[in-house]
Amino acid sequence: MNAQIARCVDIIQSEIADSSADIQAPKVAIILGSGLGPFADALETVAEISYSELPGFPEPGVGGHAGRLLLAKSVKGENMDGATFVVLQGRAHYYEKGEADVMAVPIHTLAAIGCETLVLTNAAGSLLTEAGPGAVMLITDHINMTGVSPLFGETGNQRFVNMGDAYEPFLNQQFLSIAEKQNIELHQGVYAWMSGPQFETNAEIRALRTLGSDAVGMSTVPEVILAKHQGMKVAALSIITNYAAGMSETPLSHEQTIDKAALATKSVKTLLTHFLKEYQA
């Protein structure tokens, strides 16, 4: 473990030890994407640590991302006996500095404190006519369109990570059954990772459709690769904020991403809350 990660682990573990709450080591971590701040506000936290206090954690550079690690024991108003979990509010992206491993320290830290499952959320454009702004899509697989990997420079055989069934089928099943019970329409599909920060051209979207993509975005995939490299189980949800380029009259913008993400906050909050309540690894 490198020194930065060891220091981050120390800081988090001493927050757990200092908190008066009787909590266990967290097993689940959630990374919140654009527009999911309201979920963070609904948590009963036992500690909140700014990324600036955690060496190697990035300063998120995009509006809608706060940059805090939250240790939580419940969602307000819910009874979650003994479930401690970590929420990373805010991420950094490859397109900010051209570093695909910008989330390596946070993810290594989560694995080192004992998180065995990582649930990622993001905002994405939809290639599915049936999933418009405000829809939620369970990511069942991804296509890495960037040609880069957060594992560039790693050595040893562990770097040859098995990415078959990267999105854990039994966790997906759990989300689908929660969605059914809670009457939430949960789409499923393949997420294509584009580097950004520019949105796609219409031709790029046609190409992505031909390749088998159902949604497109600029995040998540490097974190999934890092988490799999650390032996974590992964699930991911996309909030659809727009139809992909060429599919609607509305020009794409980041403002639209932030605005439309709010349409799905309630469903995502319900999905995450029940997932945490029922979590069994």
Q: Is 92 in the site for ligand HPA (CB under 6 A)?
A: no
Sign of CA dihedral 162, 165, 168, 169: negative
Place of tokens 């320290």: 105
Q: Is 199 in the site for ligand HPA (CB under 6 A)?
A: yes
Q: Is 252 in the site for ligand HPA (CB under 6 A)?
A: yes
Q: Is 257 in the site for ligand HPA (CB under 6 A)?
A: yes
Burial class (CB in 10 A: 0-12, 13-18, 19+), 209: middle
* Paired sense of beta strands 28-32 and 117-126, if any: parallel
Which one of 220, 230, 241, 267 is in contact with ligand HPA (CB under 6 A)? 241
Smallest distance from ligand HPA to CB 228, Å: 22
Q: Which amino acid is at 243?
A: Y
CA 112/CA 83 separation, integer angstroms = 18
Long-range own/partner contacts, residues 10-13 (CB < 8 A, 24 or more apart): 11/49, 11/53, 11/54, 12/47, 12/49, 12/54, 12/69, 12/71, 12/86, 12/109, 12/113, 13/113
* Residue closest to ligand HPA (Cβ): 125
Nearest in space to 106 (alpha carbons), one of 63, 71, 149, 69 = 69
Q: Is 29 in the site for ligand HPA (CB under 6 A)?
A: no
Which one of 31, 190, 218, 271 is in contact with ligand HPA (CB under 6 A)? 218
Ramachandran angles phi, psi of 88, nearest 5°: -95, 110
**Considering only residues 121-140, where is the footprint of ligand HPA by CB under 6 A?**
123-125
Q: Is 216 in the site for ligand HPA (CB under 6 A)?
A: yes
Q: Is 217 in the site for ligand HPA (CB under 6 A)?
A: yes
Q: Is 33 in the site for ligand HPA (CB under 6 A)?
A: no
Q: How many residues bind ligand HPA (CB under 6 A)?
A: 14
Smallest distance from ligand HPA to CB 60, Å: 15
Which region, judged by CB under 6 A, interacts with ligand HPA, from 44-52, 118-126, 147-155, 161-169?
118-126
Smallest distance from ligand HPA to CB 240, Å: 8
Smallest distance from ligand HPA to CB 125, Å: 2
- Paired tokens of 206: 């046609």
Residue number with CB closer to ligand HPA (241 or 273) = 241
Residue number with CB closer to ligand HPA (165 or 255) = 255
CA 206/CA 23 separation, integer angstroms = 49
- Paired tokens of 230: 């650390």
DSSP assignment of 77-117, as one string? T---TT--EEEEE----HHHHT-TTTTHHHHHHHHHTT--E
Which region, judged by CB under 6 A, interacts with ligand HPA, from 44-52, 70-78, 111-119, 212-220?
212-220
Smallest distance from ligand HPA to CB 260, Å: 9
Smallest distance from ligand HPA to CB 114, Å: 32
Residues at the interface with ligand HPA (CB under 6 A): 123-125, 194, 199-200, 216-218, 241-242, 244, 252, 257
